[in-house]
Structures are given as C-alpha cells and as structure tokens.
C-alpha cells in the first residue's frame, strides 16, 4: 500500500523533473523497441529461407551460394584492403556528385521559382535534358572530363541534379500566397521575403529532393562503375561476376544496400536538423 | 495601448469582376459603397461567396478593383501597407518561426525597432492575448484558437490604423469560438482600433459590432447598415437582452432575403424563423 503511494509520488515528481535515465537504459530502450525486434526477426527469417532454398537444391537457386558461404566471403573481404578502397571510392563519388547537385540545384530551383522570367528562360532547356537517363551521359562524360573520377562524379551529379531542381521549384511555387501577402503588408522588402519566407518555406521540398537524390546517386554510381569505372564497390561486384565468383557479387550487393541505407539515414538526420519546426514537442 | 482614432476608409462605387476561362465573367462587386468608421468595430456580414474576401483583399491592397475609389483618411489608397493589416480566414503564421519571431517580424524588417525593443513590445502584446507562456513555441504546437491570437498579436504590434479581419474565427469549434470572441472583444475595447471584421455568423456579428454592414449576394454591395448600440464593455448577458433579439430579427430579415437568392427557392422555414425571433423579442417585455 505504502509502496504504491511512493511510486505515485515519484511519477508526479518525474513530470516536473527532467528524467534522468542512465545511458545504458536509454540505449537498451532504443535498441529493443518493437520495430527493431520485428525488423531483426524479418531479416533472420530472410536468411533462413535463403539458406533452406539453397540446401534443398531449388532449381532457380542453382548458382546462388548459401548465406554461410557469403558470410565467409564477407569476412574474408572485410579484412582485405581492396574492399574498403572500393567502398571509399564509391562513397566519394556519391558524395561529390550529390553535394555538387545540391550546391548548384538548390539555387537554380530557387531562382526559377523566384523569377518567372528566369523560369521561362531556363525551363525549356531543362525539360529537354531532364528525360535523358544519367547512364546515357556516360560516353559524353568520359569524352568531356579529363579523369575517370570526374566523369563518374559528373554522372552521379546528373542523377541527383534534376530531382533537386524540380523539387525546389515545386516547393517555391506551392508556398501559400497568404504567407507572402502577410509578409508584404508588414513591410518586408524582397530580400526579407527571400531570406525569411521563401528559403525556409522551401526547406521541406529541399529535404524531399535530397532524400530522393541520395537514392538515385547510389543507383547511378554503381551502374556507372560497372560500365566505366575502375575501383568502386560497383566495379568489385562486376569483377566478381566476370570471375564467376558469386559470393563476392552478393557481398557487393549487400554492401551497396547497406551504404545506401546509411547515407539515406545521414541525409534524413541532416534534413530533420534543417526544420526544427517540424519536430513537435 | 490604444490606437489613434484614425483610419476612416471610404469606398465608393467599387466594381470587381473575375474572368474565368470558358465561363461568363463573374461580377463580384458592383457599385459597392461603404464607410469604415474610425475607432469602431465595423462588421461585414453576408452569405458565403458574396464577395467579402474580395472586398477585404482590395482594401488590404492585395487586389485592385476594376473601378471605384477608396480613400483612407482622405488620401487615395495604393497597394499593401502597414496602415491596414489583415488577419486571414486560414492561419497565415509562418510555421518555421516561433510565436515570438512571428510577432517581431514586422517592426524588425521595417527597421523601426531593434530586436531587443521588438521583443519587449512583443512580450507585452503576447500578454494581452494570453500567449506569454507560448512565445517560444512553433505555430504547429498551438491550438487553433491560440494561433488566431498569435496572428492578432503579430498584427497589433504594428499599431495599424485599420485591422481587417477576414473570418478570423472560422473553423474553430463552438466553444473556442465563443472564448475567442470574448477575448477579442476585450482587446478591441482596450485598443479601439478601427476594425473591419468579416463574418458569416449573425450572433458573432451582433455580439461584437458597433455597426453591421449587410452585404447582398452577387453582385455584392452594401444592402443596409444596422447600428448596434448595445452597451460596452459587453459580455454574454447581452445575448439574452431584448435589444439583441430585436436587432437579430431585423438583420435576419435582410440576410434571409439574400440567402434565398443564394439558394434560389422560397424558404418558408426562413420566414417562420424570423417570425419566431420577433415573437421572442416581443415577449421579453
Ligand atoms: N481569383 C478569383 N478568380 C475567380 N473567381 C474568384 C476569385 N476569387 C473569388 N472568386 C469568386 O468570387 C466570389 C466571391 O468570392 P469571395 O472569396 O470574395 O467570397 P466570400 O464572401 O469571402 O465567401 P466566404 O464567406 O465563403 O469566404 C466567389 O463566387 C468566388 O468563386
Ligand atoms: Mg471569404
């Protein structure tokens, strides 16, 4: 009886005092929540089914190694320098292409949304170039850029560039006109409107553009490496194929998936940071 | 904090039509003539779609009329300006700024006050609208009623000559709406800022107004003006007074006439309603 009373008192006090939970407890809470547990079960299930299909000699799995073999290859590769160099090269290419696309694409999108004249001037060119798939740029890119690194980075850039521009443009043009109007009538000059209204108002669409863009850059970099690259995780995977080394192919694929997932996570964190007003309470 | 007793807006023969592709142009305002009396709470009421927002947008300077004249304190009105501020039908707080940042936006972009001065002034005004504890919250963290009050604060800090409020309490639930009306009335009675308050609710109109301007359904003009000389400061007791019911019956008659145009059929129910209100009013004394 008295025990429940005490805990009640505590819970009331806890409402006012910032809760102090140990780091270990917090980590435990973070790691072992429902989504994570379900996710782990799903992934384990996936590997189990995969293993069973190979062991049971299903005809369509003839060329596929078991997860155990893949794991062995993985451990073997991880200890080798070439694996990390490959990952590093791909990451670098994604990073350069992605950042360049943001640095050029965001201002371009903003400018197109801001000035109708500029939009009419640039949009036609843009719309003609946009449907060309990034990989169709490979030959020109190789001819145009002096180094292989630059041409691959350029192709990744192309992949993310159009998406970000379109997203920013759409973001700017869908800002409620009340939001401009109230700023205008409060005496805001164009530079205020731009800095304090248009820019922050388009951050959600910039964030969307970045999320979509990072996915595309990983897609594109892998394909470009297979066609034109040396080094790179895409190349590693392709060489695995040329050597008839299926475990390496699969390790490559899993690594690509993991790298893409990780970079999306980073972009998500960055974009959440850019709009604190979206994260409530 | 009292507004100066200025901001007399005179509108004469205002016309505005909208052109829609493939349709006949829509004459929304035709020879619309009215006066917004300084220091008073002028309420504009009319059926939905009759052109109230159109008129408000023109007065705020966001839209221009096809013809007609508008003067404010005798000089012709041009473009948007800080002398006339509008509070919109839907909330127009900037979601990426905190309440405080929203409120100090006006004075700081105009360079009239330093950030510090603006913050002090804003704190006073936020207290007036009861939001002092929410100044560092983002709009999405406020309830609908609080958002409207924050918007009111954002306008008030600029000491406008005229406040134009376009159905500011639309979309709030009944209880919040009533609370907001009382809140707003207190603020008005403290500031006596010349106001054009737009609404579609008769009860709201009578409760708040010094004078009610009733608008006709398309093409819009002022059908009649009813003076509401209920005593101030007001509270909810006026809603049961005889005078209130008389005004209500009178206004209803005009409104129903317009409402009928809007629905295009003769509504007996409406007539019965007016009779009922009259009877209620007569029974009071
Ligand atoms: N930009 C526009 N282009 C074309 N038609 C318009 C435009 N703005 C308003 N209208 C039309 O003008 C008429 C009056 O609109 P307005 O918004 O002024 O009505 P309102 O009285 O404010 O209505 P509510 O009470 O529903 O807000 C409506 O029929 C509307 O469809
Ligand atoms: Mg309206």
Each residue's pLDDT tens digit, A222-251: 888 888 777 889 998 998 888 888 888 888
Tell me if B230 is assigned to some domain: yes
Q: What is the spatial order of strands in the sheet that B41-45 belongs to?
A: B84-87, B162-166, B194-199, B41-45, B211-215, B222-227
Q: Output the CA B52–ligand 2 centroid distance in Å.
A: 6
Arithmetic mean of pLDDT, B13-37: 84
pLDDT value, residue A13:
41
Residues in B closer than 8 angstroms to A189, CB to CB, are 109
Q: What CATH number does the domain containing B244 carry?
A: 3.40.50.300
Tell me if B38 is assigned to some domain: yes
pLDDT value, residue B226:
86
- List, for residues A20-75, the tens digit of each pLDDT value: 567 777 777 777 777 788 888 998 999 899 889 888 888 887 788 888 888 888 88
What is the dotted CATH code of the domain comprising A65-280? 1.10.3720.10
Q: B105 pLDDT exceeds 90?
A: yes
Q: Buried b vs exposed e over A99-125: b needs ≥16 C-beta within 10 Å?
A: ebbbeebbebbbbbbbeeeebeeeeee
Residues in A closer than 8 angstroms to B105, CB to CB, are 183, 186, 188, 196
With a 6 Å cutoff on the Cβ, whether B48 touches ligand 1 is yes
The number of distinct structural domains making up chain B is 1
Domain ranges, ordered by start, for chain A? 3-59, 65-280
Q: Which residue of B has its CA nearest to A202?
A: B96
Q: Output the CA B89–ligand 2 centroid distance in Å.
A: 7
Q: B175 pLDDT exceeds 50?
A: yes
| CA-based end-to-end distance of chain B | 40
Tell me the ipTM for this assembly: 0.70
Residues of B contacting chain A (CB within 8 angstroms) = 60-62, 80-82, 84-86, 88, 90, 92, 94-97, 105-106, 109-110, 138-141, 154, 158
Tell me if B77 is assigned to some domain: yes
- List, for residues B131-169, the tens digit of each pLDDT value: 889 989 999 888 888 888 898 888 888 888 888 988 888
- List, for residues B11-22, the tens digit of each pLDDT value: 888 888 888 877
Q: A7 pLDDT exceeds 50?
A: no
pLDDT value, residue A281:
46
Is B92 within 8 Å of A178 when comparing Cβ atoms?
yes
Best CA proximity match to B78, nearest among B61, B55, B57: B61
Best CA proximity match to B196, nearest among B185, B178, B183, B209: B209
Q: Output the CA B107–ligand 2 centroid distance in Å.
A: 28
pTM: 0.73
Residue bearing the CA closest to ligand 1, atom 7: B18
CB pairs < 8 Å spanning A and B: 70
SS3 of chain A: the string is CHHHHHHHHHHHHHHHCCCCCCHHHHHHHHHCCHHHHHHHHHHHHHHHHHHHHHHCCCHHHCCCCCHHHHHHHHHHHHCCHHHHHHHHHHHHHHHHHHHHHHHHHHHHHHHHHHCHHHHHHHHHHHHHHCCCCHHHHHHHHHHHCCCHHHHHHHHHHHHHHHHHHHHHHHHHHCCCHHHHHHHHHCCCCHHHHHHHHHHHHCHHHHHHHHHHHHHHHHHHHHHHHHHHCCCCHHHHHHHHHHCCCHHHHHHHHHHHHHHHHHHHHHHHHHHHHHCHHHCCC
Tell me if B234 is assigned to some domain: yes
Q: A2 pLDDT exceeds 60?
A: no
Q: Which of B23, B28, B200 to mutate to test the pocket of ligand 1 (most atoms within 8 A of CB)?
A: B28
Is B94 within 8 Å of A184 when comparing Cβ atoms?
no
Tell me if B273 is assigned to some domain: no
With a 6 Å cutoff on the Cβ, whether B148 touches ligand 1 is no
For residue B49, give its domain range.
9-83+160-254
- pLDDT-derived band of residue A15, with 50, 70 and 90 as boundaries? very low
Arithmetic mean of pLDDT, A158-174: 91
Residues in B closer than 8 angstroms to A280, CB to CB, are 138, 140-141
Q: B198 pLDDT exceeds 50?
A: yes
Task: Please state, rounded to an integer, the average pLDDT across all residues of chain A.
Answer: 84
Q: B262 pLDDT exceeds 80?
A: no
Q: Output the CA B46–ligand 2 centroid distance in Å.
A: 10
Q: Ranked by mean pLDDT, which of A56-65, A258-267, B76-85 comes out on top?
A: A258-267
Q: Output the CA B41–ligand 2 centroid distance in Å.
A: 18
Cα-only R_g, chain A? 25
Higher per-residue confidence, B279 vs B111: B111
Tell me if B130 is assigned to some domain: no
Residue bearing the CA closest to ligand 1, atom 3: B18
Q: Output the CA B18–ligand 2 centroid distance in Å.
A: 15
pLDDT value, residue B257:
75
Arithmetic mean of pLDDT, A155-183: 89
Q: A101 pLDDT exceeds 60?
A: yes
Ligand lying nearest the CA atom of residue A177: 1
Ligand lying nearest the CA atom of residue B50: 1
Arithmetic mean of pLDDT, A183-204: 89
Nearest Cβ partner for B96 among A176, A187, A200: A200
With a 6 Å cutoff on the Cβ, whether B53 touches ligand 1 is yes
Q: How far is A205 from chain B (nearest CA, A)?
A: 14
Nearest Cβ partner for A185 among B85, B90, B97: B85
Coil, strand or helix: which one is B265? Answer: coil
Is A179 within 8 Å of B62 when comparing Cβ atoms?
no
Residues of A contacting chain B (CB within 8 angstroms) = 176, 178-179, 181-189, 192, 196-197, 200-201, 203, 275-278, 280-281
What are the backbone angles phi and psi of residue B199, rounded to the nearest 5°?
Answer: -155, 165
Arithmetic mean of pLDDT, B216-232: 84
Ligand lying nearest the CA atom of residue B220: 1
Task: Please state, rounded to an integer, the average pLDDT across all residues of chain B.
Answer: 83
Q: B43 pLDDT exceeds 90?
A: yes
- pLDDT-derived band of residue A99, with 50, 70 and 90 as boundaries? very high
- pLDDT-derived band of residue A154, with 50, 70 and 90 as boundaries? very high
pLDDT value, residue A259:
92
DSSP B240: G
Q: Are B145 and B179 in contact (CB under 8 A)?
A: yes
Nearest Cβ partner for A178 among B88, B96, B154: B88
Q: B249 pLDDT exceeds 80?
A: yes
Closest ligand 1 atom to residue B51 Cα is 18
Higher per-residue confidence, A16 vs B44: B44
pLDDT value, residue B281:
63
pLDDT value, residue A3:
41
Is A186 within 8 Å of B140 when comparing Cβ atoms?
no
Q: Are B89 and B166 in contact (CB under 8 A)?
A: yes
- pLDDT-derived band of residue A16, with 50, 70 and 90 as boundaries? very low
pLDDT value, residue B46:
83
Nearest Cβ partner for A277 among B80, B82, B95: B95
Closest ligand 1 atom to residue B20 Cα is 4
Q: Are A94 and A217 in contact (CB under 8 A)?
A: yes
Q: Among A180, A183, A186, pick the best mutation site for testing chain B contact (most B Cβ within 10 A).
A: A186
Q: Among B109, B137, B151, pick the best mutation site for testing chain A contact (most A Cβ within 10 A).
A: B109
Is A182 within 8 Å of B61 when comparing Cβ atoms?
no
Q: Identify any residues that bridge with B12 across adjacent strands, giving them in sequence order.
A: B69
């Amino acid at each position: 009886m008295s025990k429940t009373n005490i805990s009640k008192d505590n819970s009331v006090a806890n409402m006012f005092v910032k809760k102090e939970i140990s780091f270990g407890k917090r980590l435990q809470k973070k790691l072992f929540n429902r989504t994570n547990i379900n996710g782990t079960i799903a992934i384990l299930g996936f590997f189990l089914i995969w293993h069973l299909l190979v062991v049971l000699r299903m005809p369509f799995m003839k060329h596929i190694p078991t997860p155990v073999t893949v794991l062995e290859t993985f451990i073997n590769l991880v200890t080798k320098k070439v694996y990390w160099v490959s990952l590093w090269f791909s990451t670098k290419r994604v990073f350069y292409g992605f950042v360049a696309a943001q640095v050029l694409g965001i201002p371009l999108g903003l400018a197109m949304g801001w000035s109708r004249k500029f939009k009419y001037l640039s949009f036609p060119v843009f719309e003609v170039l946009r449907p060309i798939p990034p990989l169709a740029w490979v030959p020109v890119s190789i001819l145009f850029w002096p180094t292989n690194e630059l041409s691959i980075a350029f192709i990744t850039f192309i992949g993310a560039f159009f998406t970000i521009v379109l997203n920013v443009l759409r973001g700017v043009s869908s800002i409620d006109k009340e939001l401009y109007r109230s700023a205008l009538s409060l005496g805001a000059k164009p530079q205020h409107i731009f800095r304090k209204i248009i820019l922050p108002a388009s951050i959600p669409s910039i964030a969307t553009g970045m999320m979509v863009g990072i996915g595309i850059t990983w897609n594109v970099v892998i394909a470009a490496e297979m066609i034109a690259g040396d080094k790179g995780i895409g190349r590693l995977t392709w060489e695995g194929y040329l050597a008839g080394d299926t475990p390496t192919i699969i390790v490559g694929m899993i690594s690509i998936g993991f790298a893409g997932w990780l970079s999306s996570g980073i972009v998500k964190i960055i974009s959440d940071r850019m709009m604190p007003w979206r994260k409530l309470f | 904090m009292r507004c100066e007793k200025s901001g007399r807006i005179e509108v004469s023969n205002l016309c505005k039509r909208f052109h829609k592709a493939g349709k006949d142009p829509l004459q929304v305002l035709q020879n619309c003539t009215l006066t917004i009396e300084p220091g008073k709470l002028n309420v504009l009421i009319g059926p939905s779609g009759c052109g109230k927002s159109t008129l408000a947008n023109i007065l705020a300077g966001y839209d221009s009329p096809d013809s007609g004249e508008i003067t404010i304190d005798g000089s012709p009105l041009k473009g948007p300006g800080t002398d006339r501020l509008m509070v919109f039908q839907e909330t127009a707080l900037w979601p990426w700024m905190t309440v405080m940042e929203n409120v100090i936006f006006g004075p700081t972009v105009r360079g009239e006050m330093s950030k510090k001065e603006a913050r002090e002034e804003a704190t006073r005004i936020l207290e007036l609208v009861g939001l002092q504890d929410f100044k560092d919250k983002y709009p999405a963290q406020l309830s609908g009623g609080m958002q409207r009050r924050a918007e009111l604060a954002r306008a008030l800090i600029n000491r406008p000559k005229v406040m134009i409020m376009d159905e500011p309490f639309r979309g709030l639930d009944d209880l919040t709406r009533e609370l907001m009306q009382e809140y707003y009335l207190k603020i008005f009675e403290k500031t006596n800022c010349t106001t054009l308050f737009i609404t579609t609710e008769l009860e709201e109109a009578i409760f708040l107004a010094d004078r009610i301007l009733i608008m006709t359904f398309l093409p819009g003009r002022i059908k009649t003006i009813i003076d509401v000389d209920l005593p101030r400061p007001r509270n909810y007791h006026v809603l049961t007074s005889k005078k209130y019911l008389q005004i209500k019956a009178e206004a209803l008659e005009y409104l129903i006439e317009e409402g009928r145009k809007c629905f295009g059929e003769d509504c007996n129910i409406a007539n019965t309603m007016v009779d009922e209100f009259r009877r209620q009013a007569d029974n009071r004394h």
